[in-house]
């Protein structure tokens, strides 16, 4: 009996140390990272702070207000909308007409969109918003390493995204053609190859073989120029299959089928 008790104690202590070592810090930012784990009684007891008691509002009751432009190509804000939808968040889709931007800009946190408001606080920069929401909604990986991998894929995707977006503002036709050539012949193939390699052993998802925001933003990158997804990825079956998997996720599919038309 004693032996069994000691063994149990040892087990609980080992697990506790493991849990505390990794995540159990009294910080509201981390309260949400192991949302699924908080279903477990032990973790609720060992990590009360990480299981929502330190948070003023349980995640399921939080309302996130995302503010972004009302743009035809949807762009930077749309990838965050996909994350909110897949995370089953309650959120408000605040869209700013371009004509209203001049008046709003000086009142914003960084002078740019998107920004996210939650519980009276505001965060800007799409990477910060995406990673914050990923942690809140269980889409940022299972541990710090996976979160770093998600972040890596976010940054790589945004580099490609920025390259193509910046070209939209290039006036000189020769420079624009050279930029597009570089994107299609170098940057995009590099990214496609990087993504394909991560999926080449049969994984369905890019990080930890569990859906994360990395899969969502990669699929969004392929989609962000309206109707261009298939063309962008036509030479990579692994990338095309990843895209198909993401857009077939019931919540993303529902969003794509019902999202408001952009002007």
Give me the residue whose beta carbon is nearest to ligand GSH. 112
Minimum Å distance from CB 154 to ligand GSH? 10
> Binder to ligand GSH among 75, 79, 157, 212 (CB under 6 A)?
75
Which residues is 122 bridged to in the sheet? Answer: 117
Stretch touching ligand GSH by CB under 6 A, among 22-30, 120-128, 148-156, 223-231: 120-128
**Nearer of residues 52 and 134 to ligand GSH, judged by Cβ:** 134
Q: Are strands 63-69 and 90-96 parallel, antiparallel or unpaired?
A: parallel
Residue 79 near ligand GSH by CB under 6 A: no
Residue 76 near ligand GSH by CB under 6 A: yes
Please enumerate in sequence order all residues whose Cβ is within 8 A of that of 231, keeping only pairs 6 or more positions apart, or say none: none
Distance CA 43, CA 45 (A): 5
Which residues is 93 bridged to in the sheet? Answer: 66
Helical (H) or strand (E) element with 64: strand 63-69
**Nearer of residues 76 and 142 to ligand GSH, judged by Cβ:** 76
Residue 137 near ligand GSH by CB under 6 A: no
# residues contacting ligand GSH (CB under 6 A): 9
Minimum Å distance from CB 2 to ligand GSH? 59
Phi and psi torsions of 121, nearest 5°: -115, 160
- What does the block give as tokens for 241? 């299959």
Residue 220 near ligand GSH by CB under 6 A: no
Stretch touching ligand GSH by CB under 6 A, among 28-36, 108-116, 132-140, 253-261: 108-116
Residue 113 near ligand GSH by CB under 6 A: yes
Residue 126 near ligand GSH by CB under 6 A: yes
- Rounded to a whole number, what is the distance in angstroms from the first to the last CA of the chain? 72
Looking at residue 184, the DSSP 8-state letter turns out to be I
Q: Beta-strand (E) ranges in 85-166? A: 90-96, 115-118, 121-124
> Binder to ligand GSH among 56, 90, 105, 184 (CB under 6 A)?
105
Whether 75 contacts 125, CB under 8 Å: no
Interaction site with ligand GSH (CB under 6 A): 75-76, 105, 112-114, 125-127
């Amino acid at each position: 009996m004693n032996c069994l008790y000691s063994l149990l104690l040892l087990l609980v202590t080992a697990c506790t140390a493991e849990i505390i070592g990794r995540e159990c810090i009294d910080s509201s930012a981390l309260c949400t990272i192991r949302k699924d784990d908080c279903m477990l009684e032990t973790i609720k007891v060992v990590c009360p702070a990480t299981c929502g008691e330190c948070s003023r509002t349980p995640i399921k009751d939080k309302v996130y207000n995302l503010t972004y432009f009302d743009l035809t190509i949807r762009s930077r804000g749309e990838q965050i909308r996909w994350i909110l939808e897949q995370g089953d968040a309650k959120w408000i889709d605040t869209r700013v007409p371009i004509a209203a931007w001049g008046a709003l800009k000086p009142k914003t946190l960084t002078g740019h969109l998107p920004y996210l408001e939650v519980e009276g606080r505001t965060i800007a920069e799409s990477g910060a918003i995406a990673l914050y929401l990923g942690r809140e909604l269980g889409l940022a990986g299972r541990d710090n390493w996976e979160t770093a991998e998600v972040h890596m894929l976010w940054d790589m995707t945004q580099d490609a995204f920025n390259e193509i977006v910046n070209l939209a503002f290039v006036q000189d036709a020769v420079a624009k053609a050279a930029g597009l050539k570089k994107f299609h012949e170098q940057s995009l193939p590099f990214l496609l190859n990087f993504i394909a390699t991560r999926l080449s052993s049969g994984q369905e998802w890019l990080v930890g073989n569990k859906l994360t925001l990395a899969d969502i933003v990669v699929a969004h990158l392929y989609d962000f120029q309206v109707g261009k997804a298939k063309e962008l990825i036509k030479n990579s079956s692994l990338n095309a299959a990843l895209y198909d998997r993401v857009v077939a996720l019931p919540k993303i599919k529902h969003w794509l089928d019902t999202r408001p038309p952009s002007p």
